[in-house]
Amino acid sequence: MPTRRLDVTTWYLEQRDPSDLKPARVPSVPVAIARAEVPSPELSRFLYTAVGGDWYWTDRLGWTYEQWRNWLSRPGVETWVAYRLGTPAGFVELDPQPDGEVEIPCFGLLPAFTGMGLGGHLLDVGARRAWDLASRWPDRAPTRRVWLHTCSKDGPHALPNYQARGFRVYDVQTGPETVSHTPPGPWPGARR
């Protein structure tokens, strides 16, 4: 597969207090957000590839079933799924870390559900769940910081959405990266 070099900018963002979270407007279309309480490598891999396929999400593509299961089975890891009329529309993943920190390593919508106002709402709910994570995991320290990162390979609305929800940039890094000429898509041959 042909590749190219490009400079990729990565923004690291954080909230240091629950009051930093700026609520999103409620979407004009019905949406339900529920926690996937049973660790499911199949569901998580589907969401990862369906959301990230157009944005060069490749870090986990080579993971085995066992690697997915180990990731999802760690205490405190949560996947929250947005459903539009019963169909998965997007997800937000929470990864608890030491000292009361929670990372949002994955967040996004499936392509068919963008432009409906769901992204801000899903991020709002996901950040709230990050802030109250210890209420569901009694062995966890209360959350003191929620953080995430996005980069110039992500969708154009990612950074503005994070900032609109009250996440503040605390670091920016730019460096060269080799990528294929086109993102991988959700499955081989699925390019639109």
The CATH number covering residue 32 comes to 3.40.630.30
Residue 130 resides in a domain? yes
Angle at 50 between CA 48 and CA 54, to 5 degrees: 100
Q: What was the pLDDT predicted at 44?
A: 96
Residue 152 resides in a domain? yes
What is the rounded CA–CA span in Å between residue 69 and residue 66? 5
Residue 62: band (very low, low, confident or very high) from pLDDT cuts 50, 70, 90 = confident
Residue 31: band (very low, low, confident or very high) from pLDDT cuts 50, 70, 90 = very high
Residue 57 resides in a domain? yes
Residue 189: band (very low, low, confident or very high) from pLDDT cuts 50, 70, 90 = low
pTM of the model: 0.90
Residue 187 resides in a domain? no
Query: Which residues, 6+ apart, have CB-to-CB distance to 178 below 8 Å?
Result: 3, 4, 5
Average pLDDT over residues 174-180: 75
Q: Are 121 and 83 a contacting pair, CB within 8 Å?
A: no
What is the rounded CA–CA span in Å between residue 123 and residue 109? 10
Average pLDDT over residues 165-169: 98
| Lookup: tokens for 54 | 């157009």
Query: Within its chain, how far is the Cα of 82 from the centroid?
Result: 12
Q: What was the pLDDT predicted at 176?
A: 81
Residue 176 resides in a domain? yes
Residue 35 resides in a domain? yes
What is the rounded CA–CA span in Å between residue 48 and residue 25? 25
Residue 116 resides in a domain? yes
Query: Which residues, 6+ apart, have CB-to-CB distance to 36 below 8 Å?
Result: 43, 44, 78, 79, 80, 81
Residue 76's domain comprises: 3-180
* Structural domain count, the chain: 1
Residue 58 resides in a domain? yes
Examine the pLDDT at 97 and tell me if it is beyond 90: yes
Examine the pLDDT at 192 and tell me if it is beyond 50: no
